[in-house]
Structure 1
Amino acid sequence: MLGLNKIFAKRQDPTYRATLYFKIGEEQGTRALANRFYDIMLTAPEAAELLAIHPQPMDSIRERFFEFLSGWLGGPPLFEQKYGHPRLRARHLPFEVNQSMIDQWLFCMNKALEKEVKDLRARKAIKQAITPLAQHMLNC
């Protein structure tokens, strides 16, 4: 019962309610965003090169992306709890990340945001933050 009380108290905290995680629907919204991202990657011809470098099936990568987004958006730090610091650039160094790959990734993410994030301010804030993060992955 104590765990539920902590969750309830956290949800009443104004700083928690100001997080993007909260604004997009907490766990359900974050999971929907992560899944929509990969659904778009699977079906959009514009992301064919990006899809080709992802191992199939993508169940585990969907889960890791959800876990990363959870913490990155201000929710529970699920990725860090399981794997440690995200070290995104280091984790992506084994892959050729050129501008085309970044553009394809941003295409999928922006489409997913448009479909899943109804709060326009939250959507805009995520887009503004995710673009430089994606550009930081450039390694060739």
Structure 2
Amino acid sequence: MTSTDATTSMFERIGGSDTIDLLVDRFYDRMDTLPEAKTIRAMHADDLGLIRDVLKRYLTEWTGGPKLYTPEKGHPRLRQRHFGFAIGDAERDAWMTCMRGAMEETVTNAAARQDLDKALSGLADWMRNRQ
């Protein structure tokens, strides 16, 4: 966050639940359709309904919104949960391509979008588990 927004959560800055819902829907729509996302799409079940809901709850909490993820799932343990998937630079980049396109469509505040991109880029980079 920028210093002027230190007391406002990212959740609020990007537009709250409605934006998170649209962001995740656009993200998975892109994953379903972009040729460059084929490898990460193959890591998911045919039906993306359940994972859409999980990501919506996770991002809501991660961005400072209501605690919707940890009461049901516990600590995110993202790397552990994704250990069975080979995630390298190509997979990280495909994930970020889908997410950046979704952010462009849904997060209207440019400064908030830039801050969210930086945070998600760090998260995506941290998720890599192979060279």
TM-score calculated relative to the size of structure 2: 0.92
Question: What residue in structure 1 maps to residue 110 of structure 2?
Answer: 120
Q: Distance in 1 between matches of 2:67 and 2:22?
A: 17
Unaligned runs of 5+ in 2: 1-5
Partner residue of 2:84?
94
Counterpart CA distance in 2 for 1:95 and 1:64 is: 17
Q: Equivalent residue for 1:46?
A: 36
Match of 1:131 among 90, 102, 121: 121
Q: Deviations over 1:40-87 (max 9, x none)?
A: 111111111111111110000000000000001110121111100111
One-letter amino acid matched to 2:123: L
* Regions of 4+ moved over 3 Å: none
State the alpha-carbon separation in 2 of the partners of residues 89 and 53 from structure 1.
15
Q: Percent identity?
A: 37
1:23 Cα offset (Å): 1.8
Aligned AA (1:96): A
Match of 1:61 among 18, 41, 51: 51
Q: Alignment partner of 1:113: what SS?
A: helix
The two structures, once aligned, show a CA RMSD in angstroms of: 1.2
Alignment of 1:32-43 (within 5 A): 32-43=22-33
Specify which structure has the higher proportion of helix: 1
- CA shift, 1:22, in A, is 1.1
Counterpart Cα distance in 2 of 1:128 and 1:108: 15
Tell me what 2:67 maps to: 77
TM-score (norm 1): 0.86
